[in-house]
Chains A and B, each alone.
Chain A
Amino acid sequence: MWTLEPRSDAPLIWQIATPIMAVIATMLTGALLFGLMGYDPVAAIRTIFWDPLFGASAGYSRPQLLVKAGPLILIACGLAVGFRAGIWNIGAEGQYIMGGIAGAAVALAAYPAEGWWIFPAMVIAGAFGGWVWGMIPAMLRNWFGASEILVSLMLVYVAQKIAAWMAFGPMRNPEGFGMPGSRNLSQYASASNPEMFPGTGIHWGVIAAAFAVFGVWVLMSRHIRGLQIRAAGEAPRAARFAGVKPSALVAFCLGLSGALAGMAGLFEAAGPAGQITDGFGSGYGFTAIIVAFLGRLHPVGIVLAGLLMALTYIGGDIAQLMLQMPAATVQVFQGMLLFYLLGFDLLTRYRIRRRVTA
């Protein structure tokens, strides 16, 4: 018989090894799945994980890596802070959508004026929109004790309906021949979020993500608030005795993750997506949850995890094109990866010992 013995510390070697093991296990299971579905497993794995970086059309797909990783990293950074404290914001998708709408609203109100102030105002509005959407579950939890998990998730559906309403109603492009969807912001110079250096995929969202990574690292490892967050997550009672106010943490974590998700939404609305449409929310908010866990809730890990997830998105697109593989394949991959990651994490938290039976 085997027994599990809790570790008092989490060895660094396992912290680094388990995500890598999870990725390998996902690839192997994925290959098996592809084989069963009648695809060549080796070709499929190579198309998803290798071709976006080094394949024939890598010149086009490589910049996409940062375009996709930017919002994922930006959102995941905020989520990771809350997850560390045991505050579960799983409604980042809704905060992302509301940020996009709020930012686009500023641009559409200013149209067709041009000015240097428009884009910064949009960023602030985007962050504000996401912050408000994150503060609703925070306040409902603090005032009434309502579960932030369920409220934040419900608000995703509400945000999706608002996006649809905006696309068909108030924000519909008056020159769009009746088609749903707002004006295209990428054709509006003062409001657009273009690629800054040709061929890199870097736009303002990627820069913001870089700042968020650094900021979260400082917060969690150098700031008293970060210490409080870690204490609240690992020993809630001890944290309370030390004077950490749970309600302040809830508001801080949900507000921060909401604001970052909202900014991600704005950068997307002004850049790669270009407009608010019925289906503006594209799942970044949910994938970012996987990114946060895969990155072990640590800023450096999140960067690597965000890049890997972006790779699977792009690889999935290529596989769809080249191998006629369904688009949902990537979703299955991401779910599987999270399962393996959580499972392998056992090795970080426990020591496996052979039980000595008498």
Chain B
Amino acid sequence: MIDLTTLIVMILSAATPILFAALGELIAERAGVLNLGVEGMMIAGALAGFAAAHATGSPAIGFAVAAIAGAALSMIFGVLTQYLLTNQVATGLALTLFGLGLTALFGKPYEGVKAPSMAQGPLGLNWIIWLGLLAVPLIWWFLNRSRPGLILRGIGENHHAAHALGHKVRPVRLAAIAFGGAMAGIGGAYISIATVLQWTEGMTAGAGWIALALVVFSGWRAVGVLAGAWLFGGVTVLQLRLQAAGVNVPVQLLAMAPYLVTILALVLISARRGSASPGSLGQIFHTTS
């Protein structure tokens, strides 16, 4: 067996990509925007971040580029849904398909290339893990204690009321979408730069969708997102440990665990809480004035 510290490090590491992506999506959804393109933005961040880290030898630059790439891709979604008033479900889905295609197209030269190594931070955790943990209280504070956070929540709960009060619905939402994109990009880059250490096509393998489920699971709260990410990280590590330990269950069946646990968590939360989703979530905002 392995000791407890190693296990905790592994769980925290496995939780980090979806923690980032889910925190970003949390902000977008609290602003009333349902962006199903998380998977697409994550994979874009995974490739852009890997490419930049490989070219410069600096993981830090890699993560910065990943954030920019995720945000840039999210702006396609932002302009379409906020200004061309498209259906958010369909547009988000298109973003995911587009991101997966685009990265498959431009990722070929990076296959089989190794990532530069990342510096260890305090307690044997790299600084992106720390950044993710730090982001949770910051986002909690932003949403619940700051004035811009209050405006953002107001827009998400009832965009017509917020508009009537003079708040700029579309710019705020665009900013929330961009933040969501940047966070998804960082989460994706964590997979390619810090865990897998290389680029492979479609490597996010549904992490973006799990992040979306996590936001529902959290009841749209930052602390809930953290708890969900740890739960998911735990299941992932447990599944990998069981594989390594040679348990008499086919590998492919063990690999289903994270997806099944996500479904189970969704069911339990939805049954218990009903829907606590922001009032205007996923609705098109149109005004003539």
Chain A interface residues (CB < 8 Å from chain B): 3-6, 88, 90, 140, 143-147, 149-151, 153-158, 161-162, 164-165, 168-169, 286, 289-290, 293, 326-336, 338-339, 342-343, 345-346, 349-350
Distance, CA A212 to CA B264, complexed state (A): 34
Taking a contact as CB atoms closer than 8 A, the residue among A140, A144, A153, A169 that contacts B209 in the complex is A153
Q: Assess whether B263 is interfacial by the CB under 8 Å rule.
A: yes
Minimum CB–CB distance from B220 to chain A (whole Å) comes to 13
Stretch among B96-104, B144-152, B191-199 lining the A interface: B96-104
A333 to B101, CA, bound (A): 8
**Residue of B with least CB distance to A347:** B84
A5 CA to B85 CA in the complex, in Å?
Answer: 12
B9 at interface, CB cutoff 8 A: no
Interface size bucket, B side? 35 or more
Interface centre among A168, A338, A350 (most CB of B within 10 A): A338
Measured CB to CB, the closest approach of chain A to B38, in angstroms, equals 11
Return the chain B residue nearest A5 by Cβ.
B288
B212 to chain A, nearest CB (A): 6
B168 interfacial by beta-carbon distance below 8 Å: no
Query: When the two chains form their complex, are residues A342 and B206 in contact, meaning their CB atoms are under 8 A apart?
Result: no
> Inside 8 A of A144's CB, which chain B residues have their CB?
267-268, 270-271
B182 within 8 A of A: no
Segment at the A interface, from B53-61, B128-136, B228-236, B248-256: B248-256
Assess the B80–A335 pair: CB atoms within 8 A.
no
Alpha-carbon separation in the docked complex, A323 to B81 (Å): 36
For the complex formed, measure the closest distance between the CB of B246 and the CB atoms of chain A, giving whole angstroms: 16
Q: Is the CB of B271 within 8 A of A145?
A: yes
Question: B98 touching A158 by the CB < 8 A rule?
Answer: no
- Give Cα A326–Cα B288 distance, bound, in whole angstroms: 45
B108 touches A88 (CB 8 A): no
Tell me whether B113 is interfacial, beta carbon within 8 Å. no
Chain A's closest residue to B85 (CB) is A346
Contact B98–A342 (Cβ < 8 Å): no
Contacts A150-B212, A165-B252 known; list 6 others, CB within 8 Å.
A6-B286, A140-B263, A143-B271, A150-B209, A150-B266, A339-B76
Q: How far, in whole Å, are A19 and B36 apart by their CA atoms in the complex?
A: 23
Residues of B within 8 A of A (CB): 36, 76, 80, 84-87, 89-91, 93-95, 97-102, 104-105, 108, 201, 205-206, 209-210, 212-213, 216, 250, 252-253, 255-256, 259-260, 262-263, 266-268, 270-271, 274-275, 286, 288
Q: B252's closest neighbor in chain A, by CB?
A: A165
Residues of the A chain whose Cβ atoms lie less than 8 Å from the Cβ of B268: 144
Query: What is the bound-complex CA distance between A4 and B82, given in angstroms?
Result: 13
User: Is there contact, CB below 8 Å, between A343 and B86?
Assistant: yes
Does the CB pair B286–A4 fall under 8 Å? yes
Q: Using A147-B216, A165-B252 as known contacts, say yes or no to A140 and B108 having CB atoms under 8 A apart.
A: no
Question: Which listed residue (B98, B213, B274, B286) contacts A145, Cβ 8 A?
Answer: B274
B275–A145 CB distance below 8 A: yes
Chain B contacts of A336 at CB under 8 A? 98
Question: What's the nearest-Cβ distance from chain A to residue B159, in Å?
Answer: 16
Whether the pair B288, A164 counts as a contact (CB closer than 8 A) is no
A289 and B93 contact, CB distance less than 8 A = yes
B101 and A334 form a contact (CB under 8 A): yes
Asked whether, in the complex, the Cβ of B253 is within 8 Å of the Cβ of A342, the reply is no
CB distance from A37 to the nearest CB of B (A): 8
Cα A177 to Cα B93 with chains together (Å): 41
* CB proximity of A136 to chain B, nearest CB, Å: 8
3 shortest interchain CB distances as A-B pairs: A335-B98, A331-B101, A328-B104
Residue of A nearest to B79 (CB): A343
**Residues on the A chain within 8 Å of B275, using CB:** 145
Say whether A165 contacts B253, CB under 8 Å. yes
B262–A343 touching, CB < 8 Å: no
Can you list 15 A-B contacts with CB-CB less than 8 angstroms, sorted by A residue number?
A143-B271, A145-B271, A145-B275, A146-B271, A150-B209, A150-B263, A161-B255, A328-B101, A332-B98, A339-B80, A339-B98, A342-B87, A343-B80, A346-B86, A349-B85
- Give the nearest-CB partner of B98 in chain A: A335
Find out whether the CB atom of B98 lies under 8 angstroms from the CB atom of A157: no
**Choice from B90, B99, B104, B262 contacting A338 with Cβ under 8 Å:** B90
Measured between beta carbons, the chain B residues less than 8 angstroms from A4 are 85, 286, 288
Known: A146-B266, A328-B101, A338-B94. A158 touches B260 (CB 8 A): yes
Pairwise interchain contact A147-B270, C-beta atoms closer than 8 A = yes
Give CA–CA (A143, B270) in the complex, Å.
10
A146/B85 contact (C-beta < 8 A), A3-B288, A338-B97, A339-B94 known = no
A169 touches B250 (CB 8 A): yes
What A residues does B93 contact at CB under 8 A?
90, 289, 338
Q: B206 contacts which chain A residues (CB < 8 A)?
A: 153-154, 156-157
Whether the pair A155, B263 counts as a contact (CB closer than 8 A) is yes
CB distance from B267 to the nearest CB of A (A): 5
